[in-house]
Structure 1
């Protein structure tokens, strides 16, 4: 199963999608007191962009819902970079634990 999917929705428009509740780290997210929904994953993306890839800031937008994370825009390369960053977190329990703990220590609040 593919965790993240980058699709072209219309010519020149791209969406990066993740079905919430289907990742190997869902139990870690729950242990950390969060719900692995689309809103939580949007928070993960925001933290990754702000702390690890600030050059991605403003190059796409988010449109999460309960069952799905979605980032979209016309910059396919930026979405591919976000996909690579998110894949590491979505498959690594310790990486997810570190990201959430560091973000919360800095005052970030996940909207889940």
Structure 2
């Protein structure tokens, strides 16, 4: 799940975290016209859920900041699945390029 981390913040509550600016695709994200900050990564997560993992919809919440992506909740399995999906994008330039192209075609706007 690298570079994402899943931590238990309190008993039964979990956070999925990504430090913005630490992925292998940051330069590509900028070339595609986006800022690889926490808000951009929230958009990645939301698009992945809507396009590829609709069963995750509503099972956690988002709380990004400029320097960090965060999804949180009590459903550890859902956050783990989101982390796995996001990891493939964060570590694969072609996957990121395809995701941004699909999002653009679908009219999805990243809030970065």
- Interval of TM-score (by shorter of Structure 1 and Structure 2): over 0.9
CA RMSD of aligned residues (A): 0.5
Shift in Å, 1:81: 0.3
TM-score normalised by length of structure 2: 0.98
Matches within 5 A, 1:18-57: 18-57=18-57
CA distance in 2: counterparts of 1:21 and 1:88, whole angstroms: 16
Residues 9-20 of structure 1 mapped to structure 2, 5 A cutoff = 9-20=9-20
Deviation for aligned residue 1:105:
1.0
Rounded to whole Å, the distance in 1 between the matches of 2:104 and 2:37 is: 18
In the alignment, structure 1 segments of 5+ residues that lack a partner are none
1:68 aligns with 2:101: no
SS at match of 2:33: coil
Task: Give SS of 1:107's match.
Answer: coil
CA distance in 2, matches of 1:60, 1:71: 7
Separation in structure 1 between the aligned mates of residue 106 and residue 84 of structure 2, nearest angstrom: 24
Moved over 6 A (4+): none
SS of the residue corresponding to residue 49 of structure 1 reads helix
Partner residue, 2:107: 107
